[in-house]
A and B are shown apart, each in its own frame.
Chain A
Amino acid sequence: MAAVGQRRTAGQSAVFFAGAAAIVLWSAGPFLWQLSTSFQLDRALVSSTPSLIPHPFILQHFYNIFAVKHFQLYVLNSTIVALATTFLCLAFGAMAAYALSRLKLRRRFGLLGFILSVSMFPQIAIVGPLYLLASTLGLLDTYEVLVIIYLALGLPLVIWVLFGYFQTIPEDLDEAARIDGAGPFRILLFIIIPLSVPCLVTTGLLAFIAAWNEFMFALALTSTIAHQTVPVGIANFTNLYYVPWGDIAAASVVVTLPLVLLVLFFQRRIIEGLTQGAVKE
Chain B
Amino acid sequence: MSRTVAVDGVQHAAQPSFALVGAGRIDFAPLLLLLPTAISLGSVSLYPILDGLWLSFHNTTLATRENRFVGWLNYRLLATDPDFWSAWRHTLEFTAISTLAETVIGLGMALLLVEWFAGRGFVRAAMLIPWAMPTVVTSKMFGWLFDGQNGLVNWVLRSLHLIGGNIDWYGSPNTALGTIIVADVWKTAPFMALLLMAGLQTIPGSLLEAARIDGAGAWQTFWRVRLPMLAPILLIAAMFRALDAFRIFDLVYVLTGGGPADSTEVLSTLTYKTLFSALEFGYGSALSTAMFATEALIALGFGIVIVRSMRRQGR
Contacts and interface: CB of A to CB of B under 8 A. Distances in A.
A85 B48 CA distance: 20
Contacts of B129: 27-28, 31, 260, 263
A133 interface: yes
A58 interface: no
B254 A279 contact: no
A195 interface: no
A130 B132 CA distance: 27
B198 A278 contact: yes
B162 to A, nearest CB: 17
A230 to B, nearest CB: 7
B26 to A, nearest CB: 11
B265 to A, nearest CB: 13
Given A2-B208, A129-B55, A215 B295 contact: no
A183 B199 CA distance: 39
| Interface size classification for chain B | 35 or more
Contacts of A70: none
Contact of B272 (A5, A129, A216, A243): A216
Contacts of B190: 23, 26-27
Given A33-B145, A37-B144, A118 B198 contact: no
A16 interface: yes
B19 interface: yes
B297 interface: no
Of the candidates B117, B253, B291, the one having the most CB atoms from chain A within 10 angstroms of its own CB is B117
A191 interface: no
B249 A260 contact: no
A104 interface: yes
Nearest to B130: A27
A212 B134 contact: yes
B164 interface: no
Main secondary structure of the interface of A (DSSP, over half): helix
A164 to B, nearest CB: 13
A16 B141 contact: no
B250 interface: yes
A185 B112 contact: no
B217 interface: no
Interface stretch (B35-43, B75-83, B92-100, B173-181): B35-43
Interface string A225-250: 00000111011010000010100110
A31 B141 contact: yes
Contacts of A93: 37
B243 interface: yes
A99 B246 contact: no
B104 interface: no
B167 interface: no
Interface in A195-213: 209, 212-213
Interface of A: 1-6, 13, 16-17, 19-20, 23-24, 26-28, 30-31, 33-34, 37, 45-46, 49-50, 91-93, 95-96, 98-100, 103-105, 111, 115, 118-133, 148-149, 151-153, 155-156, 159, 175, 178, 181, 183-185, 188, 209, 212-213, 215-216, 219-220, 230-232, 234-235, 237, 243, 245, 248-249, 252, 255-256, 259-260, 262-264, 267-268, 270-271, 274-275, 278-279, 281
Interface of B: 1, 16-20, 29-30, 33-34, 36-37, 40-41, 43-49, 51-52, 55, 109, 112-117, 119-137, 139-145, 147, 149-150, 152, 155, 186, 189-191, 193-195, 198-199, 201-202, 205, 208-209, 212, 232-233, 236-237, 243, 246-247, 249-250, 253-254, 267-268, 271-272, 275-276, 281, 284-285, 288-289, 291-292, 295, 299
20 contacts: A1-B116, A23-B123, A24-B122, A24-B123, A30-B186, A33-B141, A33-B152, A93-B37, A103-B30, A105-B19, A125-B288, A125-B292, A148-B44, A155-B40, A155-B41, A181-B1, A213-B134, A215-B249, A216-B272, A281-B232
Closest 10 CB pairs of A and B: A152-B44, A104-B17, A275-B198, A126-B48, A129-B48, A104-B19, A99-B33, A129-B51, A231-B136, A213-B134
